Structure 1
């Protein structure tokens, strides 16, 4: 890992092409991984395998994903001939939640407790093993929580005093249309749910297809009021915006 100044690096990468950001990330860090779940992340994997033959990819299996999503993960693994590390929730924490509150507590209590166990806890176990990670976040995914995302940052949510974690967001300035233009141009795998009106895809009980003219993340946790559609993986977005 090279030494660098995070502020200078952000200045250098501001508004740069995603391939340039991704190339710089892979040059700076050997111990870096792509967090994979959706269409944006596969675009990043496609770019990354053209830059390096040795990339780390991990995926959060909440135990509640759509069947189509599990098939999608396998398609990506085979298409790129890469290993994908599947992270599962802590059994004891999950068993305790389900025993006390059942399988659908999020419809009553909100999604954060369930996401905290099924997603965030798994991520907390993985990220201390890395020096940096790469996400598919885009500014236009959420006007309320993602408008201020930089191309590179110190991850305020998952860093520790002795282990600063660097987070790269190469697609931050791309639109959804640009993502799909890339997918179609390079004929890369995508989740078949996209053909059924799903845009942002999470767990099966918490995701629906969107209606015409709805925002792309309107189908996530649709029963909850408000527009802060975050599960906790990028909780720093909410804090940094001063909204929690």
Structure 2
């Protein structure tokens, strides 16, 4: 089974995962932000605010926001003066982000934002291009996480920083069981009611369960060449901010 990768609770051929994940996000793109509010009770906004505070984007810095699709992280960083490339493998997600930017009065390429369709495992950028690389709620959907991390390391300048916000494994006693029950039973039903798509949200919850625990994922970041790695659990590990530096 070593030549297979996870798609939720399924094990499938690696060449099939990219297409199937693409189908999921094309299906949910138009309702993605509404569903984030519905699933988290709006908490995802606070998590993203905290994430950007940790990244500390600076005026004029070049930041690659991978899997940035709808622009939630990028808008926050661009407001700090950073020059942000919003990259995503899924054009439907990028289209939603571009539309949201236009609603804010930002034409494409304006306001420190640009948009690019990119595969996290094979970026088109040259070595040492960016001051920071961010990815929020996207790394678990990558087919080969180690390749994506290696690419993140490659495109960062020396002294550049990597930040990842992702769902993780809750460690609070008693809360883990309650959250597991909520996520497996209710989230797909919310997806059905709000986005008209139960199966895609079932996959997204299952993908969280298959994602490596915090110490294991931190090791993958170190193995990619990053130093001074750190993990910051939020809400007992419901989500976590992982970081590392290219030095």
Query: Per the shorter chain, which TM-score range?
Result: 0.3 to 0.5
TM-score, normalised with respect to structure 2: 0.38
Higher strand proportion: 2
Choose between structure 1 and 2 for higher RCO, CA contacts under 8 A separated by at least 6 residues.
1
Higher helix proportion: 2
